[in-house]
A and B are shown apart, each in its own frame.
Chain A
């Protein structure tokens, strides 16, 4: 059972454009929703995270929008740069389950200069 579904699988954006990645979850017990960035040959690194009592969180060029009723959340990357080219994973976890992360399938982002 895929508990976190992520789309699109890949996207290409011009430098300066906006990248938007969407995720949907099924388990309403999830209480923490992080986004991770992964470069080839590296482990995932936390980018930004949100809790379900907040509808939006912004850190620099990265914004999470969260819709609890729709069980959806999204990552917006503003002013995309070539250095943002990476694979992005949404994830979800719950304290009651030891905070183990359930990941989406990933989105490969390519920012063209």
Chain B
């Protein structure tokens, strides 16, 4: 079956531009996570949704980062006024979201963002 998909796969932006990154989770998955992975590093948590509710945004590095999931399925991560330090791979993951459970998070291939 279809896994988590992300688009675009690559994005080059000039410093100061706004970008929008899309995540299509596995159908029926309630929980959706965004992570940022710098080159040669482990992924770092950005934000988490359960259905359309954004329950944790403690990892967003600045108020230039904004995420939404208005209908509880597709999610968009928006970065305003991009800076060079925003260059990274942005990973989306989804899980079933069973109450009280610890479940496998399934990751998409990521969007590689390069800010020039």
Contact = CB atoms under 8 A, between A and B. Distances in A.
A36 B105 CA distance: 10
A60 interface: no
A100 B48 contact: yes
A98 interface: yes
Interface in A13-36: 31-32, 34, 36
A93 B103 CA distance: 10
Given A32-B102, A42-B109, A106 B41 contact: yes
Given A98-B48, A98-B55, A99-B95, A44 B102 contact: no
Nearest to B110: A43
Interface residues of A, number: 28
Contacts, number: 63
B91 A43 contact: yes
Nearest to A100: B45
Band of interface residues on B: 20 to 34
B19 interface: no
A11 interface: no
A99 B103 contact: yes
Contact of B107 (A41, A44, A49, A51): A44
19 contacts: A31-B102, A36-B107, A41-B109, A43-B4, A46-B104, A46-B105, A95-B100, A95-B101, A97-B56, A98-B31, A99-B31, A99-B103, A100-B48, A100-B59, A101-B33, A101-B45, A103-B43, A103-B44, A105-B41
Interface of B: 4, 31, 33, 35, 40-45, 48, 50, 55-56, 59, 91, 93, 95, 100-110
